[in-house]
Amino acid sequence: MFLGIDVGTSAVKALLIDENSATVAEADIPLSVSTPHPFWSEQNPGDWWQATLGAIDALTAQNPTAIAATRAIGLSGQMHGATLLGADDMPLRPAILWNDGRAMRECEELDQALPDLGIQAGVATMPGMTAPKLIWLKKHEPDLFAKIKTILLPKDYIRFCLSGDKVTEMSDAAGTLWLDEESRSWNHAAIDACGLSMDQLPKLVEGSDVTGTLFPELANRWGMGRNVIIAGGGGDAATGGIGVGAVSHGDGFISLGTSSQIFVASDKYRPKPKELLHSFTHAIPQHWFQMAVLLNGASCLQWAASLLAEPDIGALLRRVEAQHDAPSDILFLPYLNGERTPHNNPYARGVFFGLGSDSNREMMVQSTLEGVAFALSDAQSRLHAAGAHCELPGVIGGGARSRYWIQLISDIMGTPLARYEGAAKGPAFGAARLGRLALTKELPEDVCLKPVIEEVIEPNQARHASYQPRFAKFKRLYAALSDEFTPT
C-alpha cells in the first residue's frame, strides 16, 4: 500500500492506494483560513499536523489491515506558504499562504534588485510567492525575522513532523522564486536579495526520491511496519499532474479546486513570465510544466452557496441547470482572492454586475459558474500565446463532480474536455504514486498512467458563439474596474 497526504487549503486529505492504483481508503479533515487584515491569508501549521494525524487515524479505523501494509508515503500540498521555524524547530507565527496579497510592494523591490528573476524563476514576481513574503517580514516583523532558523513549505512541515527531515523537492521549491528552474538548484542571488542564507532553506531533492523514514512512534500508532519511507512528493499542481498521467510533453488538465489551474506538461524549461504563466519543474526528474494559475475556482461556488444559505450544492446545481437556457444577464468577476493569470492583481475582488429586481439564486449561481469559466478562457489565451497546448485536457478537483459545470466550461472555452474516473481524487493520489516511485524505482511512465476517460464533452458551438459577446463584456468590466480595486 502507498499513502498520499495532501495538505490543502480547505482540508488535509489522506488516501491509500494499492499496487494496482486502486483507492482502498480515504479521509478528509477540514481546515479554516484566517484573514486578520485585508488581503492577508494565514493558517497555523499545527492545524495541518493535527488534521494529518486525524486523517491517517481515520484511514486506520477504516481499514487497519491495509494501513499496516503501507510501505511508502508521498506528500503534496498548497504551494508558496511561508512556514517559519525558530531555534526550537517550532513555528514562529502562522504560515502566510499562497493567496495572501500583502507583499505587492516587496515584489517591486525584488524586481528592481533582480530584473531577470522571472526568467530564472519561471514566473513573474507575485505577492503569493514565498520570497516577497520574507522581505515583508523583514520590514514589518524584524524581531521575528531575526529568529528564523528554517523556512519550509506546507507539505514539508508535515514531512518534518513525520520524520524529522528538513527537505523539499523541485516542484514545490519552484513556487518560492528561489529556485533556478532550468538547473534545478537554489538561486543564491535570489536568496541573498531576501536577506536570507542557504542554511535557512531545506535540502533539495526530486519528488520521486526518498527523503527519510517514518518515526517509529508514528508507525506504532498506525500499526505500520518499520522503515516506511517518505518520498519527496510535490506541490499540488505537480502531484495533480502525476495523478492524471500528465507527464509527457503536451499532456494537460484543468484543476477545479479551491483555486484553478490549466496545466500543460513540457519536455524542457520554457519560461514565459511576461505572459504571467508559471513555468516550473515537475515532480519527476527532467520534466517541467507550464501553467496558468487562477486564485479562485470551485471556492467561488462554495462561497456563493454559503452566501445564499444553500447547504446542498448538488441540489442547487440541478436547479441552476434546469433553468439555464441562455447566458446569464448577470456577470460575475470571480476574483474573490485576487488573481494571477492574466492580471497579477492581488487586490482584484469579486463583482456581481447586472443584478435586477428579478435576479434570483439560480441566476446568481449560473453567473458564478460562468465567471470562473470566463476566467479560465482568459487564462487559456495566455497559454496559447506562449505556444502551450493540450489536445484533450481532463478536469480534476472537487468542481469536476459537476458534469453541467464541465459542459459550461467547454462551451465557453470552445475546447473538448475529458471526464475522468475518480477525477476528484486530485493531488493526494499523485502523492501516493510518488511514494511508490520512490520505493520501487519504476519508470514514471509505467506508474503515472492516465485515468480511464468516462466521457469526452464536446463544446456546443452554438452556445460557444452566444457566449463570446458576454466574454468580451467580462474582460471590459475587469478593465473598467481594475484601478478601483487598488487600495487607497
Confidence of residue 398 (pLDDT cuts 50, 70, 90): confident
Break the chain down into helix, strand, coil percent, rounded to 5: 40, 20, 40
Q: Residue 196 carries which side chain, given as an amino acid letter?
A: L
Tracing cell 473538448 back to the chain, one arrives at: 416
Q: What is the dihedral of CA 313, 318, 322, 327, to 10 degrees?
A: 50
CA-to-CA distance for 169 and 176, rounded, in angstroms? Answer: 11
**Per-residue H/E/C for 321-377:** HHHCCCCCCCEEECCECEECCCCCECCCCCEEECCCCCCCHHHHHHHHHHHHHHHHH
Burial grade of 101 (CB within 10 A; 0-12, 13-18, 19 or more): buried
* Interval 108-118 mean pLDDT: 97
* pLDDT digit string, tens, across residues 62-91: 999 999 999 999 999 999 999 999 999 999
Predicted TM-score (pTM) of the model is 0.94
Q: Which of 58, 102, 21 is nearest to 446 (CA)?
A: 21
pLDDT of residue 34: 97
pLDDT band at 397 (very low <50, low <70, confident <90, very high): confident
Query: Average pLDDT for residues 410-428, to the nearest whole number?
Result: 89
CB atoms within 10 A of CB 133: 26
- For the chain, the average pLDDT equals 96
Burial class (CB in 10 A: 0-12, 13-18, 19+), 169: buried
Chain segment 245-300, per-residue pLDDT in tens = 999 999 999 999 889 999 999 999 999 999 999 999 999 999 999 999 999 999 99
> Catalytic site residues?
236
CA distance 164 to 89: 10
The rounded distance, in Å, linking the Cα atoms of 392 and 288 is: 19
pLDDT-derived band at 425 (thresholds 50, 70, 90) equals confident
Question: ∠ at Cα 479 (464, 274), nearest 5°?
Answer: 85
Q: Are strands 278-281 and 185-186 parallel, antiparallel or unpaired?
A: unpaired
pLDDT tier for residue 391 given thresholds of 50, 70 and 90: confident
pLDDT reported for residue 37: 95
| Residue type (1 letter), 247 | V
Burial class from Cβ neighbours inside 10 Å (0-12, 13-18, 19+) for residue 314 reads exposed
- Reference 271, options 391, 171, 182; nearest CA is 182
Percentage of the chain modeled with pLDDT above 90? 96
Alpha helices by DSSP H, listed for 12-85, are: 45-62, 64-68
Cα-Cα-Cα-Cα torsion 138, 141, 146, 148, nearest 10 degrees, comes to -90
